[in-house]
Amino acid sequence: MKTRTTYVVGGVRIPFMKSMTAYRDVTTPELMTASLKSLVERYNLKGKVVGDVALGALMQSSANWNFAREVVQASGLHPNTPAYNVQRACGTSLETTIQIAHKISSYQIESGIAGGVDSNSDLPIMVTRSFSQKLVALNSARTLGEKLRIFLSFRPSDLKPVPPAVVEPRTGKSMGEHCELMVKEWKISRQEQDELALASHLNAAKAYKDGFYADLVFPFLGKSTDGIMRGDTTLEKLAKLKPAFDRSEKGTLTAGNSSSLTDGSSTVLLASEEEAKKNNWPLLAKIVDSHTSAVDYVAGEGLLMAPTVAVSELLKRNGLKLQDFDFYEIHEAFAGQVLCTMKAWESAEYCKTRLGRSEPLGKIDRSKLNVRGSSIALGHPFAATGAKIVGVLAKILHSAGPGKRGLIVVCTAGGMGVATILES
């Protein structure tokens, strides 16, 4: 089948804010619409038809069953623009980017928009299973006697709300608890984690000071910068924070070296070369390839170690070494998870037994890692992170000049990992 290159035109998002703060009264669809509207305005798409739009969210209400299409119809795009929902945990908007890129590369569409959103402030609170079953039965009852019998079966415990919990159903552990197991296995110290977290904040603060985010982050509700970033933090301040998941003296993951619960959304515009030239859009970077992998965390593998596999397979297919990149964007769910991933790539035993390699992948140049800050500093609205990273890396590569290469790595719940290569 004939294919062509898909290009990243640019990314647009609203500021990411700590959950239950600035966006506490904003719905998830409203957050997504805000970023999409800003993208429409920036790239002069008002009233125009785009080939397809793929959007997603994790913390989603069943009432938002046609979420992406509803957001598109509120965005200023022409109503004839189609849209659909996607979900792959924290890799959602990287997955939407990959899917739209494939549609463009296979000549199905000329341009498309990918994105994602999440809010821990607009949570879909559910009812208990027993209450739900009784309501369904009550609705189906035909006689007064049947209805009365069901009505009398209701108990106070049926009314207890069921909030969503970010835990793995098969283990009962949160992502943070799983990561605590990983850092203990890989012997990652608290100091190493705090140092990586500090670098994230300092890099993000410098990027804002340098104006890097000026055309990536658009104001919303009076906010123009990410609300979690702390450019004045220090190792001493981070060291004072108590463990958040393993509260014993052995715990090393804290609120300071972990990403925060965050509200926000992000979008990215993709196009063929012909469509970009027709609309005078920049060609920031081309999407080269991607790979998704999973690990058996229930049987004991690290929940967030799947990116090690995804990257290995991606490198094999493209004939590349881990060191053949000018920039690395490794999503910081936790500083410990990033460090475990890099340590695994350096391990001859792990690379042989798990990745099927005769030699370790080796070290990466840490000066090329998350150079404009990442999720610990900027925030992590689960489904919005991938598109945010695509927009950031595409701009970095374009600014660096032709022939530069970047690697995106995202871990997700459910023991999955997504890796993508971009080139300028």
List pLDDT tens digits, range 238-297: 999 999 999 999 999 999 999 999 999 999 999 999 999 999 999 999 999 999 999 999
What is the arithmetic mean of pLDDT over 80-87?
98
Q: How confident is the model at residue 106 (pLDDT cuts 50, 70, 90)?
A: very high
At residue 238, the pLDDT reads 98
Q: Are 295 and 305 in contact (CB under 8 A)?
A: yes
Mean pLDDT on 359-377: 98
**Average pLDDT, integer, range 352-376:** 98
Greatest Cα pair distance in the chain: 77
Cα gap 180→284, rounded to integer Å: 38
Q: Clarify whether 380 is annotated catalytic.
A: yes
Number of Cβ within 10 Å of residue 210's Cβ equals: 10
In contact, 7 and 287? CB cutoff 8 Å: yes
Distances, alpha carbon 88 to alpha carbons 33, 96, 301, 417, in Å:
20, 9, 20, 10
What pLDDT is recorded for position 259? 98
Q: Rg of the chain's alpha carbons, rounded to an integer?
A: 22
Indicate the residue type of 310: A
pLDDT digits (tens, 9 = 90+) for 126-135: 889 999 999 9
Percentage of the residues of the chain whose pLDDT score is greater than 70: 100
User: pTM for this structure?
Assistant: 0.96
The confidence band for 166, taking pLDDT boundaries of 50, 70 and 90, is: confident
Residue 66: predicted pLDDT: 97
| Predicted pLDDT of residue 162 | 86
* pLDDT, average across residues 325-341: 98
Any residues with CB less than 8 A from the CB of 96 and at least 6 apart, and which? 54, 55, 56, 86, 114, 115, 116, 386, 387
Confidence of residue 230 (pLDDT cuts 50, 70, 90): very high
C-alpha dihedral over 182, 184, 186, 190, to 10 degrees? 100
The contacts of residue 26 (CB under 8 Å, 6+ apart) are: 119, 121, 122, 221, 263
Q: Do domains 4-122+260-277 and 171-211+234-259+288-421 have the same CATH topology?
A: yes
Give the pLDDT confidence score for residue 319 in this predicted structure: 98
Question: What pLDDT is attached to residue 207?
Answer: 98
Average pLDDT, the chain: 97
Annotated catalytic, 411? Answer: yes
Structure-token pair, residue 50:
């785009």
Task: For 372, list phi and psi in degrees, rounded to 5.
Answer: -115, 25
In the chain, domain spans: 4-122+260-277, 125-160, 171-211+234-259+288-421
Catalytic site residue from 179, 340, 351, 411: 411
> What amino acid is encoded at 170 in this protein?
R
Angle, helices 335-346/190-209, rounded to nearest 10 degrees: 110
pLDDT, tens digit, 9 for 90 and up, residues 3-48:
999 999 999 999 999 999 999 999 999 999 999 999 999 999 999 9
Q: Which of 178, 291, 380, 398 is catalytic?
A: 380
The pLDDT assigned to 163 comes to: 83
3-state SS track over the chain: CCCCCEEEEEEEECCCEECCCCCCCCCHHHHHHHHHHHHHHHCCCCCCCCCEEEEECCCCCHHHCCHHHHHHHCCCCCCCCCEEECCECECHHHHHHHHHHHHHHCCCCCEEEEEEEECCCCCCCECCHHHHHHHHHHHHCCCHHHHHHHHHCCCHHHHCCECCCCECCCCCCEHHHHHHHHHHHCCCCHHHHHHHHHHHHHHHHHHHHCCHHHHCECCECCECCCCCCCCCCCHHHHHCCCECCCCCCCCCCECCCECCEEEEEEEEEEECHHHHHHCCCCCCEEEEEEEEEECCHHHCCCCCCHHHHHHHHHHHHHCCCCCCCCEEEECCCEHHHHHHHHHHHHCHHHHHHCCCCCCCCCCCCHHHECCCCCHHHHCECHHHHHHHHHHHHHHHHHHHCCCCEEEEEEEECCCEEEEEEEEC
The two structure tokens encoding residue 213: 């985010």
Reported confidence tier of residue 314, pLDDT bands at 50, 70, 90: very high
| Lowest mean pLDDT segment, chosen from 52-66, 151-165, 226-240 | 151-165
pLDDT at 136 over 90: yes
Are 12 and 35 in contact, with CB atoms under 8 Å apart?
Answer: yes
Query: What six digits make up the tokens of 282?
Result: 């920049």
Q: What is the pLDDT of residue 165?
A: 79
Q: Is 340 a catalytic residue?
A: no
Q: How far apart are CA 396 and CA 294, in angstroms?
A: 29
Fold category of 171-211+234-259+288-421 in CATH? Peroxisomal Thiolase; Chain A, domain 1 (3.40.47)
| Residue 376 token pair | 């610990």
CA atoms in the 13 A half-sphere facing the CB of 421 = 26
For residue 225, is pLDDT > 90? yes
Name the active-site residue from 78, 90, 340, 398.
90
Mean pLDDT across 342-348: 98
Instruction: Tell me the fold of 4-122+260-277.
Output: Peroxisomal Thiolase; Chain A, domain 1 (3.40.47)
Amino acid residing at 205 = A
